[in-house]
Structure 1
């Protein structure tokens, strides 16, 4: 089944519009899905100019969105051309980012598209424009009225990582780790892998302490908290192992022996996965009822407008999103 993917340009001051213009020229992209560009026409045209390519905007009215196919464009008026300041954090840039995202989420929630791809946002600009959330993932959940468990998932090729704690100080990590939190993270990794087409995925759980605590010498979190959850998940017939020392678990991941790694804190997984392939990394809004993905890198203000942005991660995000949307559609059809 051919999914429908809506794409929003991200922060116009960064490389987002350029990346999407390049994505649309990639082999196989337009064959893989029906694509709806959501955002101001001049943003897409600016991106094409930056990329040194042409973009064909087939603008349609919102009433015609349910029946569109191929490449369509839903024109919005969220920012004036004069307000776009390349390589600068602006309230206007944050405002257009939020309004375009809102519209794409509206379309997905109404069933008119099967997934949302957004080019990189700038959190400072979005916060200045009224984000009022820890990050765009919390914002999206609130906007959708979703109250279930959700978390950012990072993807590199066939490997996924998620984490038990996220944007908190390192000194607070141990006190914020508990059995239910670890179990939710494992379940989220397992469910997201299944949605992407993996059958019986192998989820590895990282330890918190060096040497996985060395039998309690360096802390008892592995013995008292992490290991009991792993065993409980195994009893539920989930393919889960650990806790593995965090300085070796990613060697197993790099060799393809596991499909996902659940880490205990933010940088435990981020450092490893970015070293393994920063230019290919993807971020998935794990747990949300709508498949949402974005390249894991930022707005790259240092190269914005120069036409040299690497489309690799954006293509990876698109391909993963198409795969997830297809699997969701297959489940619905079944």
Structure 2
């Protein structure tokens, strides 16, 4: 651990029980360096942890609720409603409710100051909505639970490159209404802040255009001239290293020029990021009072129980949670 961070406390949930989350967490915990870098709190129960260990072929070594941890992950026994055995490889109300209830416990620990960050394994949005989640996605659910009032955005991360979005899980027909000068500047500020928290002292940010060819001087739309360009000028006037807007079909070819790229809508960045590194991507719930990280991939129903789930993304998500939470804890104590 670098001297620039302190040892964080991280709550871990296993995600949707129908998917590969348990296997991923079990494999992550099988590495002794995982517990060596953070104090881990597992929001789960014995039955879920047993299934996770069986899927991974590696039993999870944890301290029972109320017992001395001895440096091991500590079980914080869930109060979620268990329906018996969960149906696997399919989206269900029961699986979504289990995942939401466990995340709510983790958020409660964070609000109470008992953990510094949350790492959650993949969720299934159909399961979440079957379970009663009214928000577009888990980020909006986190935002409502934590009563956040500032700008929030999912951030997607690969080694050496971050992306943020001005709009996220909305119909493509509604993207236009979310592209405002204020939203562009707020999303850029958020991206700049988290890049700085991840040890980039002077972040370089490239901004995507919305329209083909960056609007071709207004021929294909005026967003670049009337909204995005002026927002970039505002940011540069504040002293931020922000440039653009650049055509979205070429900006990722120039990715080595930037630490972060601000996109206008979900697939504008996600297609590129998943092509560049599907097995290592991380999603960060940006703009919240606590770091919340998860693998950028889904529940992978097609490989559940086969022991072959790739751990690259969850390891990167854990690394990022440790780094950001540790730096925030250090800043708060100084």
Q: Which TM-score band applies after superposition, normalised by the shorter structure? A: over 0.9
For 2:50, the equivalent position in structure 1 comes to 45
Secondary structure at the counterpart of residue 84 of structure 2: helix
1:106-155: CA deviation from partner (whole Å, max 9, x where unpaired) = 11111111100000111111111121211111111111122221111111
Distance 1:171 1:223 in 2: 21
Q: Is the Cα contact below 8 Å between 1:42 and 1:81 reproduced in 2? A: no
For 1:25, the equivalent position in structure 2 comes to 30
Secondary structure at the counterpart of residue 302 of structure 1: helix
Q: Kindly state the Cα deviation for residue 81 of structure 1 after the two structures are TM-superposed.
A: 7.0
Distance 2:308 2:328 in 1: 35
Q: CA RMSD in A?
A: 1.7
The number of aligned residues is 329
5+ long unaligned stretches in structure 1: none
The verdict on how the C-alpha distance between 1:99 and 1:168 changes in structure 2, with shifts beyond 3 A counting, is closer
1:168 is aligned, of 162, 167, 170, to 170
For 1:157, the equivalent position in structure 2 comes to 159
The verdict on how the C-alpha distance between 1:68 and 1:108 changes in structure 2, with shifts beyond 3 A counting, is farther
Distance 2:71 2:318 in 1: 17
For 1:146, the equivalent position in structure 2 comes to 148
Secondary structure at the counterpart of residue 301 of structure 2: coil
For 1:295, the equivalent position in structure 2 comes to 295
Tell me the TM-score normalised to structure 2 length. 0.94
Q: Kindly state the Cα deviation for residue 28 of structure 1 after the two structures are TM-superposed.
A: 2.1
Distance 1:77 1:46 in 2: 18
For 2:264, the equivalent position in structure 1 comes to 264
Distance 2:145 2:119 in 1: 16
Distance 1:167 1:36 in 2: 30
Q: Kindly state the Cα deviation for residue 176 of structure 1 after the two structures are TM-superposed.
A: 3.1
With 164-173 and 223-232 compared, the bigger mean Cα shift is at 164-173
Q: Kindly state the Cα deviation for residue 332 of structure 1 after the two structures are TM-superposed.
A: 0.5
Distance 1:42 1:203 in 2: 45
1:247-268: CA deviation from partner (whole Å, max 9, x where unpaired) = 1111111xx2201111111111
5+ long unaligned stretches in structure 2: 1-5
Secondary structure at the counterpart of residue 64 of structure 2: coil
Tell me the TM-score normalised to structure 1 length. 0.94
Q: Is the Cα contact below 8 Å between 1:83 and 1:92 reproduced in 2? A: no
For 1:312, the equivalent position in structure 2 comes to 312
The verdict on how the C-alpha distance between 1:143 and 1:199 changes in structure 2, with shifts beyond 3 A counting, is same
Distance 1:91 1:220 in 2: 44
Distance 2:160 2:106 in 1: 27
1:216-269: CA deviation from partner (whole Å, max 9, x where unpaired) = 22222111111111111111011111111111111111xx22011111111111
Secondary structure at the counterpart of residue 284 of structure 1: strand
1:63-95: CA deviation from partner (whole Å, max 9, x where unpaired) = x89x98542111224244733111122221111
Q: Kindly state the Cα deviation for residue 296 of structure 1 after the two structures are TM-superposed.
A: 0.7
Counting only pairs closer than 5 Å after superposition, residues 78-97 of structure 1 correspond to structure 2 as 78-80=80-82, 82-97=84-99
Q: Kindly state the Cα deviation for residue 320 of structure 1 after the two structures are TM-superposed.
A: 0.6
2:17 is aligned, of 12, 15, 18, to 12
For 1:3, the equivalent position in structure 2 comes to 8
2:199 is aligned, of 181, 197, 200, to 197
The verdict on how the C-alpha distance between 1:290 and 1:229 changes in structure 2, with shifts beyond 3 A counting, is same
Distance 1:328 1:214 in 2: 43
Q: Is the Cα contact below 8 Å between 2:252 and 2:272 reproduced in 1? A: yes
Secondary structure at the counterpart of residue 302 of structure 2: coil
The verdict on how the C-alpha distance between 1:176 and 1:107 changes in structure 2, with shifts beyond 3 A counting, is closer
The verdict on how the C-alpha distance between 1:141 and 1:171 changes in structure 2, with shifts beyond 3 A counting, is closer
